Amino acid sequence: MPNMDGLTLLEHIKHINPETKTIIMSAFDDKDLLYKSIELGVFRYLNKPVNINELADVLHKAVTGIQMLLML
């Protein structure tokens, strides 16, 4: 991203709507990035290359979670 990194974007998203389900996909194996993501409330953190079955499962869980919130 040209103007900000993913964590900065995550901060902005969570500031606007804390309930947003966010998924980070990163090629970096950086524990600090992972911990900061958890602090910011990331839904899932996937390492690249992403396994398509794992991605499908995570997306399904995110959608299911959103649907549950909408039913409240």
2 cis-preceded (ω within 30 degrees of 0): no
Q: Measuring CA to CA, how many Å separate 68 from each of 2, 37, 63? A: 35, 23, 9
- Measured distance CA(46)–CA(26) in Å, rounded: 7
For 7-65, the pLDDT digits (tens) are: 999 999 999 999 999 999 999 888 899 999 999 999 999 999 999 999 999 999 999 99
Going 34 to 15 to 68 to 23, the CA torsion angle's sign is negative
Q: Measuring CA to CA, how many Å separate 22 from each of 10, 13, 62? A: 8, 9, 8
For 39-50, the pLDDT digits (tens) are: 999 999 999 999
Residue 1 has pLDDT above 80, yes or no: no
Q: What is the pTM of this model?
A: 0.84
- Top CATH class of 6-71 equals alpha beta
